[in-house]
Amino acid sequence: MISVGLGILLNPLNSSMVSVAIPSLQNVFQLDFTGVSWIVFSFYIASAIAQPIMGKASDLFGRRKIFLIGLVVAFIASLLAPLSPSFGWLIVFRIVQAIGTSMMVAVGMAIVRIHITEKQATALSVLSIFLSGAAAIGPFIGGVFIHWWGWPAIFFVNIPFVVLSFLLSWRNIPKDGPSTSVAQGMSFRKWFDLIDASGVLLFTVGLVALLFGLLSAKSSGHISLSHVIVGLIGLSALGAFVRHELKARSPFIPLRTFAKYPAMIRVNIEFMLVNVLYYSLFFGLPSYLQLVRHVSEFQTGILMLSLGLCSLITSPIAGRWIDKSGPRPALLVSAILMTIGSVWLVTLNQTSPVMSVSFALAAFGISNGLNNVGMQAALFQTSPKEIIGVASGLFNTSRYLGTILSSLLIGIVMGDKFNFEGFQVLGIILTVIALSLVFMNRRRRESGQLQES
């Protein structure tokens, strides 16, 4: 459990630590907020693509092998990223880091399910604590290390976790059985078809080109022909991706299957919106505190810790509540709390006490704890058992898409410089999204009561 837990925590830890490092990276590499936001985009795009691919690869080549290789890849990326001579190289190593940590997340749960035969639910809940705990304390760890040793420290901090996890995993994770040798004798082309390499390529090109076109236009302050061309390339690639996925035998995202279950699609859309809200605050607030209110990285980390702690404390309470009452009441309360937190952000002014942001952080933290359990329960309610594995994969994809959209939203609103007026506009947009979630959950609760009656 410790062997796997120390490995899978690296993905959420590295995705959350960077939120405090954004202002430092802006200053070191002389970038505007739009440019530096690619440190976030690159990680989540790579994670969204790598996790389902590595899940398939583990079935072919063995879960223990993929887990150990992931640790080696994460070690190399963490060692080389602080030595990056330019921001472009830092993005490259950030992508490599995302791939390595995704290899562990993709197979960690499967290793536990296969090799721990008693009290599996308890074991999986412990792994969830590793995941949510790492995300919760990431900004605090990042703030402390950046305060004392600068932004490279958020990469070096991974090395002790990687080394310890590798030593424990090499000794304790059982070797893969002979059934994992299915890849032997398989041609390179068949393996590419199995992981849907064409679909992955179209999805990647489409998403990156569309984001690049939008952000470049915002950063330059005008729309040029090149921006339009790049955006159209992105839209065309995404359109081709949809057509390809509808025909593919082993699609990267099984669109045709999910089209049969509209209730499940609604849950994924709602989960994507929740993540747009949560991560807009998660990435936007540290920059507001440091660039607008001139709060240090250390103090920012302390303030952001309240977000994670509220989420951690709420999650087990939410589990018991949802077991008794179902996910609908918890999700409605969660949406109301996000609305209150968003409205509170809008009311802040440049003379408001810095500690007053803790109210919004607490509201979002409790809301996130309710969502962590409630959304998963809602997915199980709306997904047929025979496709629950695939449904869980799409659920994670919705999380990453929401995170990517949050970074895009911040980049568009803030542009070249993070300022107080832009932060207020961001708060208004988050309030509108939160109110839409309240409406969606009220509709779900009313429809559920009608079905019960």
Domains of the chain: which residue ranges? 1-175, 257-445
Per-residue confidence at 90, pLDDT binned at 50, 70, 90?
very high
pLDDT tens profile 296-352: 888 888 888 888 888 888 877 887 788 788 888 889 999 999 999 999 989 888 888
- How far apart (Å, rounded) are the C-alpha atoms in residues 11 and 446? 38
Q: CB-based contacts of 59: which residues, under 8 Å, 6+ apart?
A: 180, 182
* pLDDT reported for residue 108: 78
What value does the mean pLDDT take over residues 418-433?
88
pLDDT tens profile 279-296: 888 888 888 888 888 888
More confident residue, 56 or 293: 293
More confident residue, 449 or 135: 135
- Positions of E strands within 27-184: none
CA 395 to chain centre: 11
Q: Which fold has domain 257-445?
A: Growth Hormone; Chain: A; (1.20.1250)
Determine contact, residues 435/277, Cβ cutoff 8 Å: no
CATH superfamily of 1-175: MFS general substrate transporter like domains (1.20.1250.20)
> Residue written as tokens 């995170």?
403
Whether residue 452 is predicted with pLDDT greater than 50 in this model: the reply is no
CB count within 10 Å of CB 84 equals 17
Sign of the dihedral defined by the CA atoms of residues 430, 435, 441, 444, in that order = negative
Max mean pLDDT among 132-141, 418-427, 432-441 falls in 432-441
* pLDDT reported for residue 178: 60
Same-fold call for 1-175 versus 257-445: yes
Whether residue 105 is predicted with pLDDT greater than 60 in this model: the reply is yes
Q: How far is CA 350 from CA 24, 89, 294, 307, in A?
A: 22, 36, 11, 22
Whether residue 40 is predicted with pLDDT greater than 70 in this model: the reply is yes
% of the chain at pLDDT higher than 70: 88
- How far apart (Å, rounded) are the C-alpha atoms in residues 12 and 364? 18
- How far apart (Å, rounded) are the C-alpha atoms in residues 18 and 39? 8
Whether residue 447 is predicted with pLDDT greater than 60 in this model: the reply is no
Nearest to 143 by CA among 305, 323, 9: 305
* pLDDT reported for residue 343: 93
Output the pTM of the full model.
0.76
Which ranges in 383-419 belong to alpha helices (H)?
Answer: 388-414
- How far apart (Å, rounded) are the C-alpha atoms in residues 433 and 237? 28
